């Protein structure tokens, strides 16, 4: 009875149950709300969820992080003409997927294959039939390319294609290198190649050979970064790392001398078809290389010929120099006190340890003095001198002249050479340039001691490096003495003997006379070694000549080698003289002109001035003004204020009026390029050298974007 009563009392009414449930629901809601408050407070304060920084993630959503590619530095001649500079090329591709449209609904795919094929065949090296077939095969694909025809497209061609407004044709821009002079000290200046930047679709130019490789870090610069935060997240801001463009490298190469040397090298090579040739002109008082060339070579812009010869023969090729080595033999004998000009020896042949040293004229010239033997290029006379000096003394001088050590040029794969010097016959052979392997750069370094009063100079080819960001010179080359192998008196005596080579009736160098200048020279002939023995036959020699001028106090050294030429009724000396004489004369003439007028010219800012006043000021400071247009004032000039110029150098001044075409005859490729940049004409060039023809006659009006083609010769 009591239990039933208790059970009846324990039962709650539905109303009471709802009340209890409501209370529990309230408490649960409060608990959940509290948890949410704590969680959101944690997020608000810490700004992190599951290890993710919300602020950073949100910022990333509205932020575009861009890389600003540094511009590669320009390589210039000593005259300020660009040899290698940055440009852009483009790769063409076509989008074929018909669902590709812009945000505004514009078609991004090729809508009309026929129209696209016509445009491509007009502006690219691809036929209409092939272009159309490629487009038709691309049906169903997302995008297609057009092989080599669609690559390395110039900005000018890209603009022409863009102007046709063909839907679906798109371009990818790539860095490229422009070599406006084509064949121009190509192995020395070098090349770049394009490499993909890790983690992006961008490419980067890297030096592959020559100065481009040796100074790659200097030329490359440092990429910048730009962080753009668009509206929608704390407004719009630009921040990041500033780009630092690569430094500019100024070589010691003289534009005119180099152009002349290339021309003459090509002419002679076409006549003799030598296996290889080198020619280098050096300033005897500084060690600066003013011009250098080789054959085979290549066109740096088109890459034509690159597969035949990419090595720089100046430092990468070793060879037996032959009789030009006798310059060092004579110097060593005189300096060591083992030379008597009046001592006579029997010429023709000379036995050493049972081995025979032959003269090139094996019959000989009877008994001859050492002095006459040098002028006659007698191997026997030089072998006698080596025996008189002794092998130890001779080897000491070989080392003093740097013929066993690197020139530390900085160029890739420089060789140090070798020598066979164990047996007496080998020691004697080196006295006339056989059995010793050298590089052309080593020979040039040694020759400076004879031309420079006994002081041997470091050869160099970079005169200065400038920072385009600060406009400051960060490096300037200085003349560096790297040894004193002989005295000034010895050097002078050797120069006297070298003049005998040119001016004595029996000398071997009469072909190298230059009217108006006294020349000191030494010719050379060496059998070409094939590794263990010597080549035989008429086409088995390396010929060479070293010339110094003016003979009494040389300003220039010109060294030429010609390996295994086919001589067609001429002598090797006559062929080499076709290079030697015009190049050396041009250098000497320019030296004479500079000595008569040594005024330093600094360009002034002429923009904003009246045309008449600007032209008068330009003439007054010593430059040649080329006024383009008939406007009343100058708005542009080709040379910036403060630039150091040579006397009579052209400076282009553009006025604010109608432009008219000047006479471009004789202008360099760099000057024509400056003209195109200033006037906006669309320039195309062919050939190398200086302007010989132009498509728009002088005096005719010109407009921006007008096509101009010039022929260089």
**What average pLDDT does range 460-483 have in this prediction?**
95
Closest CA to 171 of 184, 182, 183, 157: 157
| Cα angle, residue 238 at apex, residues 236 and 243 outer, rounded to 5° | 165
Q: Is residue 61 part of a domain?
A: no
Residue in 186, 220, 293, 323 annotated catalytic: 323
Q: Where are the alpha helices (DSSP H) in 354-487?
A: 370-376, 379-389, 391-400, 424-430, 440-451
C-alpha closest to that of 653 among 595, 591, 605: 605
Kindly list the distances between the CA atom of residue 707 and the CA atoms of 431, 700, 702, in Å, as whole numbers in the listed order. 61, 13, 9
* Range(s) of the domain holding residue 707: 600-712
Q: Is the pLDDT of residue 255 over 90?
A: yes
Going by pLDDT thresholds of 50, 70 and 90, the confidence category of residue 66 is: low
- Whole-angstrom Cα distance, residue 71 to residue 85? 9
Among 556, 571, 594, give the residue marking a domain's end. Answer: 594
Q: Which of 152-166, 413-427, 584-598 has the highest mean pLDDT?
A: 413-427
Residues 304 and 181 in one domain: no
Per-residue buried b or exposed e for 413-434, using 16+ beta carbons within 10 Å of the residue's own CB: ebebbebebeebbbbbbbbbbb
Judged on CB neighbours under 10 Å (0-12, 13-18, 19+), 342 is exposed
Exposure on the CB side of residue 173, measured as CA atoms within 13 A = 9
Domain final residue, candidates 575, 594, 613: 594
Which of 173, 99, 171, 92 is CA-nearest to residue 134? 92
Q: Of how many residues is the chain composed?
A: 713
Tell me what pLDDT residue 8 has.
46
- CA 598 vs. chain centroid, Å, equals 29
- Residues 604, 590 share a domain: no
Rounded CA gap, 2 and 25, in Å? 35
3-class DSSP state of 648: coil
Verify that 287 and 226 share a domain, yes or no. no
CATH code for the domain in which residue 685 is found = 3.30.10.20
405 and 294 in one domain?
yes
12 assigned to some structural domain: no
CATH of the domain at 318: 3.40.710.10
Residue 553 CB burial class (10 angstroms; 0-12, 13-18, ≥19): middle
pLDDT category, 425, cuts 50, 70, 90? very high
Q: Is pLDDT above 70 for 6?
A: no
Q: What would the two tokens of residue 295 be?
A: 């054959």
DSSP-assigned beta bridge partners for residue 534: 529
Mean per-residue pLDDT for 440-455? Answer: 98
Rounded Cα distance, 382 and 123, in Å: 65
Arithmetic mean of pLDDT over the chain: 89
Q: Output the 3-class SS for 123-176.
A: HCCCCHHHHHHHHHHCCCCCEEECHHHHCCECHHHHHHHHCCCCCCEEEEEEEE
Q: What is the C-alpha to C-alpha distance for residues 283 and 252, in angstroms, rounded to an integer?
A: 10
Asked if residue 23 has a cis previous peptide bond (ω within 30° of 0), the answer is no
Q: Are residues 580 and 628 in the same domain?
A: no
Q: Are 294 and 563 in contact (CB under 8 A)?
A: no
Q: What is the pLDDT of residue 81?
A: 92
3-class secondary structure, 573:
helix
Judged by average pLDDT, the poorest of 202-206, 313-317, 652-656 is 202-206
Do residues 540 and 615 both lie within one domain? no
Q: How far is Cα 395 from Cα 408, in angstroms, rounded to an integer?
A: 21
pLDDT at 195: 80
Supply the pLDDT for residue 5: 46
Identify the H or E element spanning 91.
strand 82-95
Coil vs helix vs strand at 366: coil
Question: Is 48 within the bounds of a domain?
Answer: no
Taking alpha carbons only, the member of 192, 197, 248, 193 closest to residue 69 is 197
Distance of alpha carbon 402 from alpha carbon 416, whole angstroms? 9
Let me know if residue 240 belongs to a domain: yes
Report the C-alpha dihedral over residues 595, 596, 599, 604, rounded to 10 degrees. -120
Decide if 323 is catalytic.
yes
| Domain assignment of residue 665, yes or no | yes
Number of domains the chain contains? 3
Least confident stretch, 334-338, 386-390, 517-521, 650-654: 650-654
Residue 171 lies in a domain: yes
**Which among 295, 325, 266 is positioned nearest to 583, based on CA atoms?**
266
Which pLDDT band holds residue 484 (cuts at 50, 70, 90)? very high
CA separation for the pair 312, 658 (Å, rounded): 48
Do both 548 and 669 map to the same domain? no
Within a domain: 572: yes
The residues, any chain, with a CB within 8 Å of residue 53's CB and separated by 6 or more, are 47
Region 71-88: what's the mean pLDDT? Answer: 92
Which residue would you say has higher pLDDT here, 646 or 296? 296
Q: Could you tell me if 164 and 119 are in contact, meaning their C-beta atoms sit under 8 angstroms apart?
A: yes
pLDDT at 230: 54
Lowest average pLDDT, out of 164-178, 428-442, 640-654, 695-709, goes to: 640-654
Task: Give yes or no: residues 232 and 265 share one domain.
Answer: no
Say if residue 535 is in the same domain as residue 634: no
Residues 6+ apart with CB under 8 A from 692: 665, 711, 712, 713
CATH number of the domain at 168, please: 3.90.1310.10
pTM above 0.85, yes or no: no
So what's the pLDDT on residue 26?
75
Q: Same structural domain for residues 539 and 415? A: yes
Which of 214, 230, 251 is the last residue in one of the domains?
251
Residues 393 and 467 in one domain: yes
Is 40 a member of any domain? no
Q: What is the predicted pLDDT for the residue at 39?
A: 63
Q: What is the DSSP letter of 529?
A: B
The yes-or-no verdict on residue 54 having pLDDT over 60 is no
Check residue 233 and give its pLDDT: 45
- Residue in 504, 464, 281 with CA at minimum distance from that of residue 374: 504
Are 498 and 625 within one domain? no
Q: Any residues with CB less than 8 A from the CB of 450 and at least 6 apart, and which?
A: 327, 331, 486, 491, 494, 495, 498, 548
DSSP 8-state code for residue 510: G
- Summarize pLDDT for 264-312 with one digit per residue, the tens: 999 999 999 999 999 999 999 999 999 999 999 999 988 999 988 889 9
Q: How far apart are CA 10 and CA 612, in angstroms?
A: 118
């Amino acid at each position: 009875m009591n239990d039933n009563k208790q059970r009846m009392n324990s039962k709650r009414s539905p109303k009471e149950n709802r009340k209890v449930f409501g209370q529990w629901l309230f408490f649960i809601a409060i608990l959940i709300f509290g948890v949410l408050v704590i969680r959101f407070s944690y997020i608000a304060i810490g700004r992190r969820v599951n290890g993710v920084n919300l602020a950073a993630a949100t910022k990333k959503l509205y932020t575009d992080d861009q890389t600003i590619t540094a511009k590669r530095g320009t390589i210039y001649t000593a005259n300020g003409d660009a040899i290698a500079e940055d440009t852009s090329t483009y790769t063409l591709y076509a989008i074929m997927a018909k669902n590709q449209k812009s945000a505004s609904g514009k078609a991004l795919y090729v809508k009309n294959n026929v129209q696209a094929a016509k445009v491509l065949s007009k502006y690219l090296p691809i036929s209409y039939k092939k272009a159309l077939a490629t487009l038709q095969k691309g049906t169903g694909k997302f995008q297609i390319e057009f092989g080599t025809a669609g690559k390395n497209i110039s900005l000018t061609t890209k603009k022409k294609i863009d102007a046709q407004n063909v839907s679906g044709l798109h371009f990818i821009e790539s860095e490229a290198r422009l070599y406006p002079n084509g064949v121009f000290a190509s192995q020395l200046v070098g090349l770049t190649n394009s490499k993909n930047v890790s983690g992006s679709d961008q490419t980067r130019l890297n030096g592959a050979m020559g100065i481009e490789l040796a100074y790659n870090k200097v030329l490359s610069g440092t990429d910048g970064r730009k962080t753009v935060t668009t509206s929608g997240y704390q407004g719009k801001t630009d921040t990041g790392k500033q780009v630092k463009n690569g430094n500019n490298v100024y070589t010691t190469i003289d534009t005119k001398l180099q152009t002349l040397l290339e021309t003459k090298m090509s002419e002679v090579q076409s006549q003799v078809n030598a296996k290889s040739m080198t020619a280098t002109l050096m300033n005897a008082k500084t060690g600066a290389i003013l011009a250098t060339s080789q054959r085979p070579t290549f066109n740096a812009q088109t890459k034509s010929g690159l597969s035949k010869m990419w090595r720089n023969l100046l430092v990468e090729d070793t060879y037996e120099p032959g009789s030009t080595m006798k310059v060092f033999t004579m110097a060593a004998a005189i300096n060591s006190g083992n030379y008597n000009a009046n001592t006579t020896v029997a010429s023709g042949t000379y036995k050493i340890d049972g081995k025979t040293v032959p003269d090139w004229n094996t019959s000989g010239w009877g008994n001859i003095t050492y002095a006459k033997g040098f002028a006659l290029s007698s191997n026997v006379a030089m072998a006698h001198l080596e025996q008189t000096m002794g092998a130890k003394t001779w080897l000491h001088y070989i080392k003093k002249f740097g013929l066993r050590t690197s020139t530390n040029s900085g160029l890739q794969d420089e060789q140090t050479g070798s020598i066979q010097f164990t047996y007496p016959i080998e020691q004697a052979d080196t006295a006339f340039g056989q059995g010793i392997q050298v590089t052309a750069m080593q020979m040039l370094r040694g020759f400076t001691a004879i031309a420079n009063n006994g002081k041997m100079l470091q050869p160099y080819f970079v005169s200065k490096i400038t920072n385009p960001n600060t406009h400051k010179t960060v490096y300037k080359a200085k003349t560096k003495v790297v040894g004193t192998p002989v005295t000034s008196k010895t050097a002078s005596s050797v120069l006297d003997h070298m003049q005998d080579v040119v001016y004595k009736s029996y000398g071997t160098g009469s072909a190298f006379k230059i009217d108006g200048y006294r020349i000191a020279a030494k010719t050379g002939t060496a059998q070409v070694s094939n590794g263990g023995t010597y080549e035989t036959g008429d086409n088995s020699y390396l010929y060479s000549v070293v010339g110094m001028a003016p003979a009494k106090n040389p300003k220039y050294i010109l060294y030429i080698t010609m390996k295994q030429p086919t001589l067609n009724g001429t002598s090797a000396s006559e062929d080499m003289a076709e290079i030697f004489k015009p190049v050396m004369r041009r250098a000497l003439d320019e030296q004479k002109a500079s000595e008569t007028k040594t005024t330093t010219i600094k360009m002034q800012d002429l923009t904003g001035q009246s045309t008449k006043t600007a032209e008068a000021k330009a003439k007054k400071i010593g430059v040649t003004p080329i006024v383009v247009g008939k406007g009343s004032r100058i708005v542009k000039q080709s040379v910036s204020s403060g630039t150091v110029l040579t006397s009579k150098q052209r400076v282009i001044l553009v006025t604010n009026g109608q432009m008219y075409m000047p006479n471009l005859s004789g202008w360099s490729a760099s000057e024509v390029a400056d003209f195109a940049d200033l006037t906006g004409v669309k320039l195309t060039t062919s050939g190398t050298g200086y302007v010989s023809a132009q498509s728009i006659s002088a005096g005719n009006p010109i407009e921006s974007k007008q096509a101009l083609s010039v022929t260089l010769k």
